Each structure stands twice: as C-alpha cells, then as structure tokens.
C-alpha cells in the first residue's frame, strides 16, 4: 500500500474513533440526562461530519482523495477495520446518534 494511501487510512481511522467516542458521549448524556460542554461539543462534531458527508453526496472526502491517489474504489472505507464492521458503521452509528440525541434533547429540555 502506498504511503499516501496508508496515511489517509490512518487519518480516517483516527477520525472514526473520535466520532465514535462522540456518539458514546451523547449516549452517556442521554442515559444520565446531563449534558456537559463536552456533550454539546460531541453533538457539534457529529453534525459537522454529517454536513461534510452530505456535501460530498454521502462519500467521505478522504475516500475521494484516496481514489485520486490510486486506491481501489472504496479501499479507504475499511479504515483498518474488517469489511463486515466497516459496512455497518453508518447504519449503527447513525441510528445510535439520532436516537441518543433525541433522548438527550427530550431529557434536557423537558
């Protein structure tokens, strides 16, 4: 694997783990009914990521960059995870985020 593609996959993996931690922080806030500054930062980061993905027609810009550098189509999407796990990231994390955010907002603002 060329160095540039490896670097993109590494950065993509770090972003994935940060955003996963954000989703967990939102779940924690929903479960406890307490929202801290970090909870709202986590919400903001996930929303920004969603806007970026929407702007790129639901394709990560890092995937586009990796493909321009010669990666096979979708090769960056595994982000150093097994394909079966990578294929389930959006449905699992997206659903978890939406449900947790809904519960968090309901508990904090009612």
Element (H, E) at 40: helix 37-55
In the numeric block, which tokens belong to residue 88? 């389930």
Report residue 83's pLDDT band, with 50, 70 and 90 as the boundaries: confident
19-63 per-position pLDDT tens digit: 999 999 999 999 999 999 999 999 999 999 999 999 999 888 988
Rounded (10°) angle between helices 89-108 and 3-32: 30
What is the distance between the alpha carbons of residues 54 and 74, in angstroms, rounded to a whole number? 17
Q: How many CB atoms lie within 10 A of CB 67?
A: 17
pLDDT averaged over every residue in the chain: 89
Q: Given this model, what pLDDT does residue 80 score?
A: 74
Helices 37-55 and 89-108: angle between axes, nearest 10 degrees:
140
Question: What does the pLDDT read at residue 25?
Answer: 98
Cα dihedral value 19, 22, 23, 27, nearest 10: 170
Q: What is the pLDDT of residue 70?
A: 82
């Amino acid at each position: 694997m060329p160095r540039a593609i490896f670097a993109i996959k590494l950065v993509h993996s770090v972003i994935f783990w940060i955003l996963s931690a954000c989703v967990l922080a939102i779940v924690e806030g929903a479960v406890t009914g307490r929202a801290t500054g970090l909870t709202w930062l986590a919400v903001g980061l996930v929303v920004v990521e969603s806007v970026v993905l929407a702007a790129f027609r639901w394709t990560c810009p890092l995937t586009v960059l990796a493909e321009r550098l010669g990666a096979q189509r979708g090769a960056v999407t595994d982000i150093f995870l097994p394909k079966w796990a990578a294929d389930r990231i959006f449905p699992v994390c997206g659903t978890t985020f939406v449900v947790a955010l809904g519960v968090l907002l309901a508990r904090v603002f009612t």
